């Protein structure tokens, strides 16, 4: 299996799956890399606009531009 695509501290855009809580911001920071779940890496991410952290699948985030 390949390695994580994103690094801790990297800024990313988050597009959550339709069944999850809507995102309040486009810009999130990678807080922690998490293990692979269901064949996909996951990450703990945080937005300055939210008081809580989220868990995102690698397919839900892209490099922030």
**Is residue 44 a contact partner of residue 55, using CB atoms and an 8 Å limit?**
yes
Tell me the per-residue pLDDT of 16-54, one tens digit each, with 9 for 90 and over.
Answer: 876 666 666 678 999 999 999 889 999 999 998 889 999
The alpha carbon torsion through 11, 39, 3, 61 (nearest 10 deg) reads -10
How many residues does this entry show for the chain? 65
pLDDT reported for residue 35: 92
1, pLDDT greater than 80: no
The C-alpha R_g of the chain, in whole angstroms, comes to 11
Q: What is the mean pLDDT of residues 2-6?
A: 90
Q: What residues contact residue 17 under an 8 Å CB cut-off, 6+ apart?
A: 57, 60
Regarding predicted confidence, which is higher, 12 or 18? 12
pLDDT at position 43: 97
């Amino acid at each position: 299996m390949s390695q994580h695509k994103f690094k801790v501290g990297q800024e990313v855009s988050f597009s959550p799956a339709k069944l999850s809580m809507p995102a309040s911001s486009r810009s999130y920071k990678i807080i922690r890399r998490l293990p692979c779940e269901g064949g996909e890496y996951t990450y703990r991410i945080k937005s300055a606009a939210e008081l809580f952290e989220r868990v995102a699948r690698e397919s839900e985030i892209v490099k922030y531009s």
